[in-house]
Protein backbone atom coordinates (compact mmCIF):
# COMPACT_ATOMS: atom_id res chain seq x y z
CA UNK A 1 0.00 0.00 0.00
CA UNK A 2 2.84 2.37 0.90
CA UNK A 3 4.54 1.62 -2.43
CA UNK A 4 1.31 2.40 -4.28
CA UNK A 5 0.96 5.77 -2.52
CA UNK A 6 4.60 6.63 -3.22
CA UNK A 7 4.20 5.67 -6.87
CA UNK A 8 1.09 7.83 -7.12
CA UNK A 9 2.96 10.82 -5.69
CA UNK A 10 5.78 10.40 -8.20
CA UNK A 11 3.30 10.25 -11.10
CA UNK A 12 1.57 13.37 -9.78
CA UNK A 13 4.91 15.20 -9.50
CA UNK A 14 5.97 14.16 -13.00
CA UNK A 15 2.61 15.25 -14.41
CA UNK A 16 2.92 18.72 -12.89
CA UNK A 17 6.54 19.00 -14.02
CA UNK A 18 5.48 18.25 -17.61
CA UNK A 19 2.62 20.75 -17.41
CA UNK A 20 5.00 23.41 -16.03
CA UNK A 21 7.50 22.79 -18.83
CA UNK A 22 4.75 23.07 -21.45
CA UNK A 23 3.47 26.33 -19.95
CA UNK A 24 6.98 27.79 -19.86
CA UNK A 25 7.58 26.70 -23.44
CA UNK A 26 4.36 28.36 -24.59
CA UNK A 27 5.22 31.56 -22.71
CA UNK A 28 8.67 31.70 -24.31
CA UNK A 29 7.21 31.03 -27.78
CA UNK A 30 4.59 33.69 -27.16
CA UNK A 31 7.25 36.22 -26.17
CA UNK A 32 9.33 35.58 -29.28
CA UNK A 33 6.20 35.67 -31.45
CA UNK A 34 5.28 39.05 -29.96
CA UNK A 35 8.78 40.44 -30.55
CA UNK A 36 8.74 39.16 -34.14
CA UNK A 37 5.30 40.56 -34.91
CA UNK A 38 5.85 43.96 -33.29
CA UNK A 39 9.50 44.62 -34.13
CA UNK A 40 10.67 41.94 -36.57
CA UNK A 41 13.13 40.46 -34.04
CA UNK A 42 14.05 36.92 -35.01
CA UNK A 43 14.25 34.22 -32.29
CA UNK A 44 17.64 32.68 -31.41
CA UNK A 45 16.50 29.35 -32.84
CA UNK A 46 15.65 29.04 -36.53
CA UNK A 47 11.91 28.86 -37.22
CA UNK A 48 10.15 28.92 -40.61
CA UNK A 49 8.83 32.48 -40.22
CA UNK A 50 8.51 35.22 -42.79
CA UNK A 51 11.35 37.70 -43.24
CA UNK A 52 9.67 39.53 -46.12
CA UNK A 53 6.29 39.90 -47.79
CA UNK A 54 5.16 36.35 -48.57
CA UNK A 55 2.48 37.60 -50.98
CA UNK A 56 4.91 38.93 -53.59
CA UNK A 57 5.18 37.26 -57.00
CA UNK A 58 8.77 36.03 -57.27
CA UNK A 59 8.51 34.37 -60.68
CA UNK A 60 11.22 35.09 -63.26
CA UNK A 61 10.72 37.93 -65.75
CA UNK A 62 12.04 36.76 -69.12
CA UNK A 63 13.98 38.75 -71.70
CA UNK A 64 11.02 38.32 -74.05
CA UNK A 65 8.65 39.83 -71.50
CA UNK A 66 10.98 42.81 -71.08
CA UNK A 67 11.27 43.29 -74.82
CA UNK A 68 7.49 43.19 -75.28
CA UNK A 69 6.80 45.61 -72.43
CA UNK A 70 5.54 48.98 -73.73
CA UNK A 71 4.65 52.25 -72.03
CA UNK A 72 3.71 55.75 -73.18
CA UNK A 73 6.55 57.55 -75.04
CA UNK A 74 7.59 59.85 -72.17
CA UNK A 75 7.13 57.29 -69.38
CA UNK A 76 10.10 55.42 -67.87
CA UNK A 77 10.16 51.88 -69.29
CA UNK A 78 13.28 50.21 -67.86
CA UNK A 79 16.15 50.94 -65.49
CA UNK A 80 19.73 49.65 -65.69
CA UNK A 81 22.47 50.08 -63.07
CA UNK A 82 25.74 48.48 -64.25
CA UNK A 83 27.60 48.67 -60.92
CA UNK A 84 25.02 46.50 -59.11
CA UNK A 85 24.34 44.16 -62.03
CA UNK A 86 20.83 45.41 -62.80
CA UNK A 87 19.90 45.26 -66.49
CA UNK A 88 16.63 46.53 -67.93
CA UNK A 89 14.25 46.02 -65.01
CA UNK A 90 10.73 46.94 -66.07
CA UNK A 91 9.20 50.07 -64.53
CA UNK A 92 5.50 50.17 -63.63
CA UNK A 93 3.42 53.11 -62.32
CA UNK A 94 2.69 52.92 -58.57
CA UNK A 95 0.73 55.00 -56.06
CA UNK A 96 0.74 55.76 -52.35
CA UNK A 97 -1.09 53.43 -49.98
CA UNK A 98 -3.50 54.48 -47.21
CA UNK A 99 -0.51 55.34 -45.01
CA UNK A 100 1.08 57.52 -47.72
CA UNK A 101 3.81 54.93 -48.35
CA UNK A 102 4.83 54.03 -51.89
CA UNK A 103 3.43 50.75 -53.14
CA UNK A 104 5.37 48.25 -55.28
CA UNK A 105 4.72 46.41 -58.55
CA UNK A 106 3.36 42.87 -58.15
CA UNK A 107 6.51 41.11 -59.33
CA UNK A 108 9.63 41.35 -57.16
CA UNK A 109 11.88 41.89 -60.20
CA UNK A 110 10.03 45.01 -61.36
CA UNK A 111 10.51 48.62 -60.26
CA UNK A 112 7.84 51.18 -59.42
CA UNK A 113 7.57 54.75 -60.68
CA UNK A 114 5.45 57.10 -58.56
CA UNK A 115 2.98 58.31 -61.15
CA UNK A 116 2.62 61.75 -59.56
CA UNK A 117 6.36 62.41 -59.69
CA UNK A 118 8.31 63.72 -62.66
CA UNK A 119 8.97 62.17 -66.05
CA UNK A 120 12.46 61.47 -67.39
CA UNK A 121 13.62 64.54 -69.27
CA UNK A 122 11.09 67.02 -67.89
CA UNK A 123 13.54 68.65 -65.45
CA UNK A 124 11.82 67.66 -62.19
CA UNK A 125 12.20 64.83 -59.61
CA UNK A 126 11.50 61.26 -60.73
CA UNK A 127 10.75 58.86 -57.86
CA UNK A 128 11.33 55.12 -58.24
CA UNK A 129 11.00 52.36 -55.69
CA UNK A 130 11.65 48.63 -55.58
CA UNK A 131 12.29 45.68 -53.35
CA UNK A 132 15.68 44.57 -52.09
CA UNK A 133 14.66 41.13 -50.83
CA UNK A 134 11.93 38.55 -50.98
CA UNK A 135 11.23 35.30 -49.18
CA UNK A 136 13.33 33.33 -51.70
CA UNK A 137 14.96 35.61 -54.29
CA UNK A 138 16.52 39.10 -54.04
CA UNK A 139 14.85 42.13 -55.56
CA UNK A 140 16.31 44.47 -58.20
CA UNK A 141 17.69 46.82 -55.54
CA UNK A 142 19.33 44.18 -53.35
CA UNK A 143 22.68 45.96 -53.72
CA UNK A 144 21.42 49.54 -53.87
CA UNK A 145 23.10 50.41 -50.56
CA UNK A 146 26.50 49.65 -52.16
CA UNK A 147 26.19 52.38 -54.77
CA UNK A 148 28.75 55.18 -54.62
CA UNK A 149 28.88 58.77 -55.75
CA UNK A 150 29.41 58.88 -59.50
CA UNK A 151 27.84 55.49 -60.28
CA UNK A 152 25.73 55.49 -63.44
CA UNK A 153 21.99 54.85 -63.72
CA UNK A 154 20.28 54.58 -67.12
CA UNK A 155 16.56 55.10 -67.65
CA UNK A 156 15.00 54.11 -70.97
CA UNK A 157 11.73 55.79 -71.88
CA UNK A 158 8.86 54.37 -73.85
CA UNK A 159 10.09 56.15 -76.99
CA UNK A 160 13.51 54.48 -76.74
CA UNK A 161 15.33 57.58 -75.49
CA UNK A 162 17.93 56.81 -72.82
CA UNK A 163 18.83 59.22 -70.04
CA UNK A 164 21.88 58.83 -67.80
CA UNK A 165 22.03 59.90 -64.16
CA UNK A 166 25.03 59.94 -61.83
CA UNK A 167 24.62 59.14 -58.14
CA UNK A 168 25.09 62.12 -55.83
CA UNK A 169 24.31 60.61 -52.42
CA UNK A 170 23.28 57.33 -50.83
CA UNK A 171 21.97 56.78 -47.31
CA UNK A 172 19.94 54.38 -45.18
CA UNK A 173 17.08 56.03 -43.33
CA UNK A 174 14.11 54.90 -41.28
CA UNK A 175 10.92 54.47 -43.26
CA UNK A 176 9.16 56.93 -41.00
CA UNK A 177 11.94 59.49 -41.31
CA UNK A 178 12.02 59.29 -45.10
CA UNK A 179 8.33 59.98 -45.50
CA UNK A 180 7.59 62.36 -42.63
CA UNK A 181 10.46 64.66 -43.61
CA UNK A 182 9.34 64.52 -47.26
CA UNK A 183 12.94 63.73 -48.25
CA UNK A 184 11.68 61.42 -50.94
CA UNK A 185 10.76 64.31 -53.23
CA UNK A 186 13.76 66.57 -52.68
CA UNK A 187 16.07 67.20 -55.66
CA UNK A 188 19.83 67.01 -55.28
CA UNK A 189 20.10 70.65 -56.30
CA UNK A 190 17.27 73.07 -56.91
CA UNK A 191 16.43 73.47 -60.59
CA UNK A 192 18.19 70.23 -61.68
CA UNK A 193 16.47 67.03 -62.74
CA UNK A 194 16.89 64.34 -60.07
CA UNK A 195 16.25 60.62 -59.93
CA UNK A 196 15.37 59.46 -56.41
CA UNK A 197 15.33 55.71 -55.73
CA UNK A 198 13.86 54.07 -52.64
CA UNK A 199 14.33 50.41 -51.66
CA UNK A 200 13.17 48.49 -48.61
CA UNK A 201 15.89 47.75 -46.09
CA UNK A 202 16.45 46.65 -42.51
CA UNK A 203 14.03 44.33 -40.69
CA UNK A 204 10.68 43.00 -41.84
CA UNK A 205 8.04 44.03 -39.28
CA UNK A 206 4.87 41.90 -39.67
CA UNK A 207 2.74 44.33 -37.65
CA UNK A 208 3.51 47.08 -40.16
CA UNK A 209 3.63 44.81 -43.19
CA UNK A 210 6.86 46.42 -44.35
CA UNK A 211 10.57 46.89 -43.62
CA UNK A 212 11.60 49.45 -41.01
CA UNK A 213 14.32 51.17 -43.09
CA UNK A 214 14.86 52.33 -46.65
CA UNK A 215 17.90 52.65 -48.89
CA UNK A 216 17.67 56.10 -50.46
CA UNK A 217 19.72 57.07 -53.51
CA UNK A 218 19.59 60.39 -55.33
CA UNK A 219 21.13 61.03 -58.74
CA UNK A 220 21.27 63.91 -61.20
CA UNK A 221 20.73 63.95 -64.95
CA UNK A 222 23.92 64.15 -67.00
CA UNK A 223 22.69 63.29 -70.50
CA UNK A 224 19.71 65.42 -71.56
CA UNK A 225 17.43 64.33 -74.35
CA UNK A 226 18.80 64.58 -77.87
Interval 63-91: pLDDT, tens:
999 999 999 999 999 999 999 999 999 99
Instruction: Please state which CATH class domain 63-221 belongs to.
Output: mainly beta
- Measured CA to CA, the distance from residue 46 to residue 13 in angstroms comes to 32
Over the chain, what is the mean pLDDT?
Answer: 84
176 Cβ partners below 8 Å, 6+ apart?
Answer: none
For residues 176 and 213, give the distance between their C-alpha atoms in angstroms, rounded to a whole number.
Answer: 8
For the CA atoms of 140, 143, 144, 145, what is the dihedral angle to 10 degrees? 150
pTM tops 0.85, yes or no: no
| CB atoms near residue 189 (< 10 Å) | 11
Question: Which residues are CB-contacts of 184 (< 8 A; sequence separation ≥ 6)?
Answer: 102, 127, 178, 196, 198, 216
Instruction: State the average pLDDT over residues 131-136.
Output: 88
* More confident call, 203 vs 16: 203
Instruction: Give the C-alpha separation, 137 to 133, whole Å.
Output: 7
Q: Is pLDDT at 48 greater than 50 in this prediction?
A: no
Q: How many residues does the chain have?
A: 226
Amino acid sequence: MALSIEYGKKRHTIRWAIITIIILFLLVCGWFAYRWYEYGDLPPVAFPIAGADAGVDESVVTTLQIGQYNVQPRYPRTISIPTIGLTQARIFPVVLDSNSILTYPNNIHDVGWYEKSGLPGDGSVIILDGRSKGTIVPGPFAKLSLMKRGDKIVIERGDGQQLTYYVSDNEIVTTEGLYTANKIGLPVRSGEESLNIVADSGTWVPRLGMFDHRDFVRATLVSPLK
